[in-house]
Structure 1
Amino acid sequence: MAADGIPPDSLTPARIRELRADDTNLRARDFAAQHGLVEAELLAAQIGHGATAIKAHPDDLMPLVCDLGDVMALTRNESCVIERRGTYEEYHGGAHAQMVLGAEIDMRMFARHWVHGFALEEGEKRSIQVFDAAGDAIHKVHLKPESDVAAFDRLVAALRLPEQNATLDLAPRALVEAAKSDPAKVETLRSEWLKLTDTHQFLRLVSKLKMNRLGAYRIVGEPFATRLSKDAVAALLNRCAQDAIPLMIFVGNAGCIEIHGGKIETVKPMGPWLNVLDPRFNLHLRADHLAEIWLVDKPTKNGPALSLEAFDKNGALITQIFASRKDGGVEDFNAAIKALPRLEEMA
């Protein structure tokens, strides 16, 4: 049952548009949830009324997005939103994963989750929005006054689907995998961990041992993984802003990981939200969703890679923060992360 007492089955596209017209101030995601919908259903209801269904695969979409000029790239999960101004550059396709490697917009994509695509025009506002099979947002591109509107029009014309359906066939939302570990294999985990030469090898290691990321952290022990206090994220962001320490902030979902690399300036809490509010980079993190925070030390051929990794109560990864090696300041970042408060210190 939707929050307004209207059963979701009775929410025709016309009725959804009518309700939305009466409540334009609420964010689309919150409006959809309030009415028992997923966000993609709200976009589909606007087909022919500002929205156009388009091809969603990154191979089709990203080369044309690269022509839009200066835009805002947005990726989110349940607990964190990352917003980066810039131009999409250097799109690289792939059978299983795809990349955008730009000076400001840096992304990793997993095309099997890019299922429902829309181009949306709301007055002067234009955006490209992609959703997964369950209708949850994967990635959004918001045009700005400096963006190329003609390139947007060409994108819509090129990628418009033959069938413009105002309703969607949606799959059930995938459940978050809880922490998975095997204490009997902890010595193997530690010995193989020491052999890592690249952080990308880590997930293959834990998968081989029938574990996952959080499960491995819980059993491996120090110096590999150290549990931090819930204040550690704010402490690290504030320290990096204060001392102008470059960092890399990763925020993602199953279909997209967006990365900020460089310095940050303004860290500001607002209610439950912890925010970074810089001219070309914003981060919005629900501090009240932080359940487990870990300092993780992985060996690489370039020296240890230290990271802060934050999880919610269900075991979903919220964000990861690393040093930005290309911007320098690795020693300063490592000193800052090693100084973060441990969980036991707060007991």
Structure 2
Amino acid sequence: MDQAHSPSANAQSALSPQVIRDLRAEHNALRARDFCDRFQIREAQLLAAYTGRGVTRLHAHPDAVMPQIERLGEVMALTRNASCVHERVGVYGNYKSGPHAAMILQPEIDLRLFPSHWVHAFALNEDTDTGPKRSIQIFDAAGDAVHKIHLRETSDHAAWDEVVAALATGDTSDVLEVAARKPAEAPKSNPAKCEVLRDEWRKMTDTHQFLRLTSKLKMNRLGAYRIVGAPFVERVPPEAVDAALQALAKSKTEIMLFVGNRGCIQIHSGSIETLRAMGPWQNVMDPRLNLHLRLDHIKEVYVVNKPTQRGPALSLEAFDGEGNIILQIFGRNAEARDSRPAWADILSTLPRLHTEETV
């Protein structure tokens, strides 16, 4: 590689759009995220470098984006974090706006959106040997991906130009300034309030009360899990996640599978069927759901029991080494119940930690 193209520690502001494009031409076999990691730029800056070259800058707020996406018909929704990618085929619609949280509530595309993190957006239109490759991609202030919408053969491509025109900002700059990434919130526990936590946990009637409870006690999710203990939480080994996926694929038990980042949470409701392991990745490869999970990133896993008016809501929740949540799996609600006996049975058979490992 040309020394002039070697990235420095401050490469996200040092590389010009022309250099980014030259590097991309040299390394076009790399996935976009891998390319950005190698050259220390952000994904949003890579797209910005191609503004006017198949890329159009768009308004990013969900209130603008979501009504337009409905016009594209069936698409693939993608939400990821550093350890897991969640891809779901379906149709957008039933958008519920909100100043702090918004939602898409459809049987297949089920999203929780946090508008303050929807900062940059782009439309990408590439001509390939197999036809046009089109997507709308949203990024946070740091230039990291929040949510992506990829058109498929079954999408309404005739609506593409009108959707892009409706969302376009008119900004033709190929330079994008990004903010520093915010570090993960460290686990926050308050052992002096452990008994209060246990008492209030026991009184919960809805899972949504949990975060309000931890905030009131000056804790967060992982910090609370670490101290609350049985019968509410049990720590299990990292391999429990793969064991759960294997059991789910075998039994076809229906679940709700949550994967997200600060700006978007994407939910799959239903069963999973086909697993394909590849190196450190475990992959769900179903017709309308793909999940790509880095098993080696999983450092802490908990079986969690939250009481609700509709029965116990049992979940399996995985965290990385920095305390970021990677994914959550719940039994799928059925017949107005949070309790799913088949899912409870799977959780009961997962690998357990030896006593000395839990200390």
Instruction: State the identity as a percent.
Output: 55
Indicate the residue corresponding to 2:78 in structure 1: 74
Is 1:333 matched up with 2:335? no
Q: CA deviation at 1:260?
A: 0.5
Task: Go from structure 1 to structure 2 and tell me whether the alpha carbon gap of 1:4 and 1:274 turns closer, same or farther (over 3 Å shift).
Answer: farther
- Over the aligned positions, Cα root-mean-square deviation in angstroms equals 1.7
Indicate the residue corresponding to 1:5 in structure 2: 6
**What is the aligned counterpart of 1:40 among 37, 40, 44?**
44
Q: CA deviation at 1:338?
A: 2.0
Give 3-state SS (helix, strand or coil) of 2:161's partner.
helix
Give 3-state SS (helix, strand or coil) of 2:352's partner.
coil
Is 1:307 matched up with 2:315? yes
Do the aligned partners of 2:77 and 2:87 also contact (CA within 8 Å) in 1? yes
The code of the aligned residue for 2:70 comes to C
Task: Go from structure 1 to structure 2 and tell me whether the alpha carbon gap of 1:10 and 1:298 turns closer, same or farther (over 3 Å shift).
Answer: closer
The code of the aligned residue for 2:43 comes to E
Do the aligned partners of 2:5 and 2:19 also contact (CA within 8 Å) in 1? no
Distance 2:173 2:257 in 1: 37
Is 1:343 matched up with 2:353? yes
**What is the aligned counterpart of 1:58 among 38, 56, 62?**
62
Give 3-state SS (helix, strand or coil) of 1:146's partner.
strand
Q: CA deviation at 1:164?
A: 2.1
Q: What residue ranges of structure 1 are gaps of 5+ in the alignment?
A: none
Q: CA deviation at 1:334?
A: 1.1
Indicate the residue corresponding to 2:101 in structure 1: 97
Pairing 1:1-347 to 2, within 5 Å after superposition: 5-7=6-8, 8=11, 10-123=14-127, 124-326=132-334, 330-344=340-354
For each residue in 1:111-137, what CA deviation from the matched residue of structure 2 results, as whole angstroms up to 9, or x when unmatched?
000000000011110000000000000
Q: CA deviation at 1:6?
A: 4.1
Give 3-state SS (helix, strand or coil) of 1:191's partner.
helix
Give 3-state SS (helix, strand or coil) of 1:259's partner.
strand
Task: Go from structure 1 to structure 2 and tell me whether the alpha carbon gap of 1:346 and 1:260 turns closer, same or farther (over 3 Å shift).
Answer: farther
Distance 2:237 2:353 in 1: 4
Do the aligned partners of 2:252 and 2:271 also contact (CA within 8 Å) in 1? yes
Do the aligned partners of 1:267 and 1:277 also contact (CA within 8 Å) in 2? yes
Do the aligned partners of 1:64 and 1:151 also contact (CA within 8 Å) in 2? no
Q: CA deviation at 1:326?
A: 3.4
The code of the aligned residue for 2:232 comes to F
Q: Structure 2-normalised TM-score?
A: 0.93
Task: Go from structure 1 to structure 2 and tell me whether the alpha carbon gap of 1:3 and 1:202 turns closer, same or farther (over 3 Å shift).
Answer: farther
Q: Which is worse superposed, 54-63 or 89-98?
A: 89-98
Give 3-state SS (helix, strand or coil) of 1:199's partner.
coil
Task: Go from structure 1 to structure 2 and tell me whether the alpha carbon gap of 1:120 and 1:292 turns closer, same or farther (over 3 Å shift).
Answer: same
Distance 2:298 2:101 in 1: 28
Q: Which is worse superposed, 5-14 or 147-156?
A: 5-14
For each residue in 1:137-173, what CA deviation from the matched residue of structure 2 results, as whole angstroms up to 9, or x when unmatched?
0000000111111222111101111222211121111
Distance 1:10 1:317 in 2: 32
| Count, aligned residues | 346
Q: What residue ranges of structure 2 are gaps of 5+ in the alignment?
A: none
Distance 1:218 1:38 in 2: 33
Distance 1:85 1:343 in 2: 37
Give 3-state SS (helix, strand or coil) of 1:285's partner.
strand
Task: Go from structure 1 to structure 2 and tell me whether the alpha carbon gap of 1:309 and 1:16 turns closer, same or farther (over 3 Å shift).
Answer: same
Do the aligned partners of 1:3 and 1:34 also contact (CA within 8 Å) in 2? no
The code of the aligned residue for 1:43 comes to L
Q: Which is worse superposed, 115-124 or 162-171?
A: 162-171
Do the aligned partners of 2:214 and 2:221 also contact (CA within 8 Å) in 1? yes
For each residue in 1:32-56, what CA deviation from the matched residue of structure 2 results, as whole angstroms up to 9, or x when unmatched?
1111101110000010111000000
The code of the aligned residue for 1:182 comes to N
Q: CA deviation at 1:73?
A: 0.3
Distance 2:187 2:14 in 1: 39
Do the aligned partners of 1:227 and 1:292 also contact (CA within 8 Å) in 2? yes
Q: CA deviation at 1:74?
A: 0.3
Q: CA deviation at 1:182?
A: 0.7
Give 3-state SS (helix, strand or coil) of 2:160's partner.
helix
